[in-house]
Chains A and B, each alone.
Chain A
């Protein structure tokens, strides 16, 4: 069996058409888009086209697009731009389940003179708009709410949240890295000031992203330097990657329907197949309002890293919110914010599909994973109704983090 790649929220395969579009810009067309000569000028034209392609996918104008080196840079640039433009305002609102690109920046800012309000989510990972309304203050400088969560796929009510902020005159940023290409997004109908996307989540290469800045929204460059990007981001453009991102946005528009039909059907087949075959498994996240490609399933009594490594033996790539894979000692901040019990959080596996996946691959995983789980459960001292599990109820453990 070849590699079964079900980790598309981590990164995606570069579409062959994207690669083909990029290649000439490594070899023959190596000019600098800022140059005065025709040789560079033709590259400048290609960059302009790519900007139009990116803008078109989200309903923006090309002038509203700033190319960045990644999603993280886009998030950092947008938030810092809003803060720098309103130095007297010292309050930031975001959610507990943001990607670290937003969350760790916010926490850093909190240590440096800002007040931070982290909005919670319910057990399905959903935010409460009322809570947002109440959190907004006179000195709120920015509200940042992700479009869709990378771990669970839960989609946030960005249009409503942005409307609330607009009404109150507070700039609004959304990290749409997981949503662009999977969901139809049109900034003409979405009152956001800043929106961030990242190439490698939609079959463009890693290390390229784009920041949408609504015309009229406050802006300060994060990278100061040359006059590239109309002075909004210094640094000679990563031309091949920009060309690739443009092509990927074109393809995304063309394939959006497939993402929401065929890919969604594959995801559902995988999820239902696994839930039917494996007892004590639950889906994390909002079952209805969810990215079409993502399912996050917790298998009780077993640990995520062990599952991943056994899946790896079978050529299957996925990821986990378990402590052992997060590089920290605690399970994913997203699952914890949702109040998923630690007993489930440690055994969570995220499968994220793409249009390159097939039904055969789904069936392979549905066939093999039950054996993997059974094997690990056999090894585990815990099982349904076991004494050990009953003992969990007792406050034997002083670990407050355990939640037991």
Chain B
């Protein structure tokens, strides 16, 4: 039996926003009856804001809970904000998913993107037909795999299977998965052009590298001018823990420094969701 968090169980037993929306203007569908899980997401978008969201899901408890969580997360968001919701946000909302079930949260993210594409009048893309097909058994492409590796900081083929299902059938594609993984892990993770729109969603490693780079290049020089300094202590997702040094420690406006200058700079350069906190001494 799977170890589900209470939150997963609760959302499975009492799912929010089940059903269809008659006046939906964005519909996203992923998965199929045959593949064992499928999600149909209905959104009502007013202006650029998601004013209502409903879902229909065929799948296991974690697929249903992930769908419920997704609708709760995105209701009230702008489309721009919703596009930043990742599978990890869904999993985190539920207090975590068993690792073997992470693909349920990925399905949520894919349905959301499909719905927004539908709203924008872009063609629906089947889960299997973007990029090169790598896993025949589950119809997973190299793009989907590389993305799962990057966004979730995956380190092993087994993890790829947990997130995308690829490799979970006949196993024939495992060699190919390993190659994709090696290519990703071997690659220098720092974006050369962090400000370009390119891949907005960063893996943990990428985000960490980028934060360090911005701290070194932009933030520390400024603080040092004022006799202060800053050190990166830890990162947890998009939360950055720092310690202020030098003049900053005694400066009554250090909180302002953190929230204002440091956070803003990191948000501008790395990720809009960055929250800067002072590390506990």
Contact = CB atoms under 8 A, between A and B. Distances in A.
A101 interface: no
Interface in A331-345: 331, 341-343
Given A303-B59, A305-B61, A309-B61, A400 B36 contact: no
B36 A331 contact: yes
Interface string B35-58: 111111000000000000000111
B33 A301 contact: yes
B40 A379 contact: no
Contact of A342 (B2, B36, B56): B36
A399 interface: yes
B138 A329 contact: yes
A399 B34 contact: yes
A303 B138 CA distance: 17
Contacts of B33: 301, 342-343, 346, 382, 388-389, 392, 404
Given A309-B12, A329-B168, A342 B34 contact: yes
A306 interface: yes
Contacts of A398: 126, 128-129, 133, 136, 139
B39 to A, nearest CB: 7
Interface stretch (A148-156, A209-217, A320-328): A320-328
A388 B36 contact: no
B137 interface: yes
A352 B223 CA distance: 71
Contact of B56 (A323, A330, A381): A381
Nearest to B128: A398
B16 to A, nearest CB: 12
Contact of A401 (B39, B57, B169): B169
B36 A381 contact: no
28 contacts: A301-B58, A303-B36, A303-B63, A304-B60, A305-B2, A305-B60, A324-B36, A324-B37, A328-B168, A329-B168, A341-B34, A342-B35, A342-B36, A346-B33, A379-B18, A379-B58, A380-B58, A388-B33, A388-B38, A389-B33, A392-B34, A397-B126, A398-B126, A398-B129, A398-B133, A401-B136, A401-B138, A401-B169
A100 interface: no
A313 interface: yes
B138 A381 contact: no
A325 B29 CA distance: 24
A180 B107 CA distance: 44
Q: Which of the four size classes fits the interface of chain B? A: 35 or more
A378 interface: yes
B139 A399 contact: yes
Interface in B180-217: none
Contact of B59 (A324, A330, A341): A324
The size bracket of the interface on A is 35 or more
Interface string A369-393: 0000000001111100000110010
A36 interface: no
B94 interface: no
B128 to A, nearest CB: 4
A399 B56 contact: no
Contacts of B100: 327
A346 B63 CA distance: 14
Contacts of B150: none
In the A-B complex, list the 5 residue pairs whose CB atoms are closest, starting with the nearest. A329-B168, A402-B34, A324-B60, A401-B137, A305-B60
A303 B128 contact: no
A226 interface: no
Contacts of B168: 328-330
